[in-house]
Amino acid sequence: MSEADTGTQGSPTGPEHVDAAETATVRRRHGPLRSLPATGLIGLLIVAAVVAVALVSLVWTPHDPLQAVPEQRLSGPTPQHPLGTDRYGRDVASILMAGAQVTLAVGCVAVAIAVLIGTPLGVLAGMRRGWTEELVMRGSDVVLAFPALLLAIMASAIMGASTWSAMAAIGLASVPGFARVARAGTLQVMSSDFVLAARVAAQPEARIARRHVLPNIVGLVVVQASVTFALAILAEAALSFLGLGTPPPEPSWGRMLQSAQDHLAVAPHLAVWPGLAIALAVLGFNLLGDGLRDVLDPRTRGRR
């Protein structure tokens, strides 16, 4: 459906930001879902499935994910345990379902932290320019020197391993991404005629930010959020794999992989299922992000 969007791109001489505003209304008429490319739709379905599994696991799992049955440890697939059991004889399918909760919770909180800090900073930098911009950009350079995983390892060194420290660290490490995206979008919007008109009309800065800037960069932020969510899932999995993330007994995909390592020779299925779950969730958010970018980001629109 993206051809429909490309058709609305207006006169080739017109500046790009005007197109952005135009498509915003066009999108509303068609609905964002209908113009999502097929791969984006697949991503959306995967994400919806992961969310559904996490929600279902809140009220129902085939077995108690924490209940150990020692005489059934490390069993392969049986009718009673379709995905087998782990080293304590716990049902892998149930742990897997419950593990989706932590994954999504970490992703949501981390992305929320990064959006809420990064976006205003980026908008501020793009609107004020000058030393404010310099400060924000150099600040994000410094934070960029610490990848999410490294920051999370530092946090667990001083505060001990916990889901909260993982969320905070991953969220903080993702702030520069949002600041940069928001700044780039803001710069573009600020050079548009409607912002010029608003400034000539002596509208206060906060109002310009709310009325003109934010609505026009929401797409960029949403795309960044989807991609960051995927990165957060990977970081949380790695952290739990290292034993520095979600502490036991709380089910977590990363820690399932960690314990699977000890039984790789006799029970490789223990690595396959959580591994598949992580890869699928990350794939889902990445595909969704790419699809949304095609629809929402004026810079890549019309490229294919």
Partner 1 sequence: MIRAVGGRALRFVLTLAATSVLVFAFMRVLPGDPAEVALGTGATERALEQTRAEFGLDRPLAVQYWDWISGIPLGDFGVSFVTGEDISPVVLDRLTVSLILVVSAMVLAVAVAVPLGSWAAVRHRRADGIAVSALSQVGVAVPNFLAGMLLVAAFALGLGWLPANSWMPPAYDPLQFLSHLILPVTALAAVQAAVMTRYVRTSVLEIMGQDWMRTARAKGLSRFQALVRHGLRNAALPVLTVTGIQLTTLVVGAVVIEQVFVIPGIGSELIEAVTTRDLLTVQSVVMLLAMITLTVNFVVDLLYLILDPRTAVRT
Contacts with partner 1, residue ranges (CB under 8 A): 39, 138, 141-142, 144-147, 149-150, 153-154, 156-158, 230, 234, 237-238, 241-242, 244, 257, 260-261, 264-265, 268, 271, 275, 278-280, 282-283, 286-287, 303
Of 39 and 72, nearer to partner 1 (C-beta) is 39
Q: In this complex, which beta carbon is closest to partner 1, that of residue 17 or of residue 269?
A: 269
Which H, E and C letters describe the chain, residue by residue? CHHHHHHCCCCCCCCHHHHHHHHHHHHHHHCCCCCCCHHHHHHHHHHHHHHHHHHHHHHCCCCCCCCCCHHHCCCCCCCCCCCCECCCCCEHHHHHHHHHHHHHHHHHHHHHHHHHHHHHHHHHHHHHCHHHHHHHHHHHHHHHCCCHHHHHHHHHHHHCCCHHHHHHHHHHHCHHHHHHHHHHHHHHHHCCHHHHHHHHCCCCHHHHHHHHHHHHHHHHHHHHHHHHHHHHHHHHHHHHHCCCCCCCCCCCHHHHHHHHHHHCCCCCHHHHHHHHHHHHHHHHHHHHHHHHHHHHCCCCCCCC
As given in the structure block, the two tokens for residue 277 are: 């779950």
Question: Looking at beta carbons only, is 173 or 296 nearer to partner 1?
Answer: 173
To the nearest whole angstrom, how small is the minimum distance from the Cβ of residue 265 to partner 1? 5
In the bound state with partner 1, the residue whose beta carbon lies nearer, of 28 and 303, is 303
Please state the closest distance from residue 29 (CB atom) to partner 1, in A. Answer: 29
Query: Least Å distance between CB 244 and partner 1?
Result: 7
Comparing CB distances to partner 1, the nearer of 186 and 216 is 186
Residue 78: what are its φ and ψ, rounded to 5°?
A: -130, 165
146 token code pair: 């610490």
- Minimum distance from CB of 282 to partner 1 (Å)? 4
Quote the least distance from Cβ 118 to partner 1, whole Å. Answer: 17
Q: Give the shortest CB-55-to-partner 1 separation in angstroms.
A: 22
Q: Judged by CB, which is closer to partner 1: 121, or 149?
A: 149
* Residue with smaller CB distance to partner 1, 181 or 198: 181
Minimal distance, residue 174 CB to partner 1, in Å = 14
C-alpha torsion angle, residues 44, 282, 174, 190 (rounded to 10)? -30
